[in-house]
Structure 1
Amino acid sequence: MRNAKEATIRNLKKMLEIKNKSLVGTTTLNRVCLKF
Structure 2
Amino acid sequence: MDQNPTVAEAQAADSAVEEELLIEEISIDGMCGVY
TM-score for the superposition, normalised by structure 1 = 0.85
Q: What code does the residue aligned with 2:32 have?
A: C
Q: CA deviation at 1:19?
A: 0.3
Structure 2: give runs of 5+ residues left out of the alignment.
none
Runs of 4+ in structure 1 displaced over 3 angstroms?
A: none
| Identity among equivalent pairs (%) | 6
TM-score for the superposition, normalised by structure 2 = 0.88
Q: Greater share of helix residues, 1 or 2?
A: 1
RMSD, matched Cα: 1.3
Alignment partners' CA distance in 2, 1:7 and 1:29: 32
Structure 1: give runs of 5+ residues left out of the alignment.
none
How many residue pairs match? The answer is: 34
Q: CA deviation at 1:25?
A: 0.2
